[in-house]
Structure 1
């Protein structure tokens, strides 16, 4: 008996159920934690913590976070494919997600003009993340009165549903 059937050659149901459960778990995991872990702060707001943060700043940070999350987790192309491949390689060495504090300076047109973050430990991964963040304009420009930079924390981890071979350019 080979573990996948009995002596009569009948297939066991357990491997199919296990595969189905793994697929469901990956899907749930993706929905729970795509890429952006959450907003840390909005630029100079840390110094003004006791003051109320305008709703427009909070809304903008959420919109920006969602746009970047989609860009990082669902985007195609060589940059995203290469970054995901690097994350998969890193995941093999360390199961700990990689938190990255990103500071973004966003133009009145909604383009990321500058980004700063601590090195990911790989020059190419740093360049790819920087290019992905600035790849296209954000859905809307920042509120005129919002101080910059916009500071966000991203948790970079492989997306279990990402298929580099199926991605454009992959």
Structure 2
């Protein structure tokens, strides 16, 4: 399975900044968060495996995940995830699995001190034919 990030932007409800005008440090940090999310979803552990199984089994169906998922992420000063929001799936367990996956890790560095949050990350949920790892 592949969770492919399609864009990484930053912004707050009233202070949105287009990624083209965001400082390079913000763009780089958003890319790091997207990369970590992909790693965590691809991890060899039960919750991530269960989520990937859901995506594989339900992709393209009326009760499946959307083809593009937008995740809003708030990152604490220590690099851990404060919270994430995204549109719920029709399967409550899959929604909770993804929330668990995305909030239990640490991206490995703090966000830039002046960075607007939340980060708005768009992902394409694609299934790879041969394995369950992100591209």
- The reply to whether TM is greater than 0.5 is yes
How do residues 148-159 of structure 1 correspond to structure 2 at under 5 angstroms? 148-159=117-128
Q: Please give the alpha-carbon distance, in whole angstroms, between the structure 2 residues aligned to 1:50 and 1:60.
A: 12
Cross-structure match for 1:146: 115
2:81 matched to 1:82? no
Cross-structure match for 1:117: 86
Summarize the Cα distance change of 1:159–1:112 in structure 2 as closer, same or farther, 3 Å threshold: farther
2:105 matched to 1:136? yes
Q: Please give the alpha-carbon distance, in whole angstroms, between the structure 2 residues aligned to 1:128 and 1:50.
A: 29
Q: Please give the alpha-carbon distance, in whole angstroms, between the structure 1 residues aligned to 2:19 and 2:105.
A: 34
Cross-structure match for 2:31: 62
RCO greater where, 1 or 2, for CA within 8 Å and sep 6 or more?
2
- Normalized per residue, which structure has more strand? 2
Summarize the Cα distance change of 1:51–1:123 in structure 2 as closer, same or farther, 3 Å threshold: closer
- Normalized per residue, which structure has more helix? 1
Query: Does the 8 A contact of 2:80 with 2:106 survive in 1?
Result: yes
Structure 2 spans left out of the alignment, 5+ residues? none
The structure 2 residue matched to 1:93, chosen from 50, 61, 72, is 61
Which of structures 1 and 2 has the bigger CA Rg? Answer: 1
Q: Please give the alpha-carbon distance, in whole angstroms, between the structure 2 residues aligned to 1:36 and 1:48.
A: 22
Q: CA RMSD for the aligned pairs?
A: 2.7
2:53 matched to 1:53? no
CA offset digits 1:113-152 (Å, max 9, x no partner): 1111001221000000000001221121111100110110
